[in-house]
Amino acid sequence: METKKEIKVLLFGGKKEEERNKEIVSLVNNPKLIDTGCNNTLREFFSLINLCNILITSDTLALHIALALKKKVIALFGPTSPNEIEMYGLGKKIVSPKKCVVCYNRYCNEKPDCMQLISPKMIYYKIIKFSSLK
């Protein structure tokens, strides 16, 4: 008999994401969504990422930490190049379908921007394909 897995979601962010994360937690209002805080030390950040079975992240420090810790990763790419990141068999990439990807711009005036074109549904299907979650 197959049983459902207990899934918890850890929400990460830096100092700039503190308000965004508070808003997400209040909107979701589910005890399975855990805000890890936005002021963690590097050691704490590594430890929190090490708790993850799968990390979903853009091309950030979290991606590189997860790969170093040999964690499964789903990496989202828009303004940075997916070709420059080796996943070492640990992850899958989702590349924005926007034509102007790999521009390396920190800010974009286009609406929707490349990262907004990566839908939650795209991420969900990648998780299902990549994991044993059902």
Q: pLDDT tens for residues 80-126?
A: 999 999 999 999 999 999 988 899 998 889 899 999 999 999 999 99
- Tell me what pLDDT residue 57 has: 97
How far lies 40's CA from each of 13, 35, 48, 107, 124, in Å? 9, 11, 9, 25, 27
Whether 37 is in a domain gets the answer no
pLDDT band at 13 (very low <50, low <70, confident <90, very high): very high
pTM beyond 0.85: the answer is yes
- Tell me what pLDDT residue 4 has: 62
> Tokens 């991606």 label which residue?
63
Whether 83 is in a domain gets the answer yes
C-alpha 123/C-alpha 94 separation (Å) is 8
Whether 82 is in a domain gets the answer yes
Q: Which domain holds residue 76?
A: 54-130
Whether 48 is in a domain gets the answer no
- Tell me what pLDDT residue 21 has: 96
Whether 100 is in a domain gets the answer yes
Whether 75 is in a domain gets the answer yes
Whether 90 is in a domain gets the answer yes
Helices in the chain by DSSP H: which ranges?
A: 18-28, 42-50, 61-68, 120-130
Split into its structural domains, the chain has a count of: 1
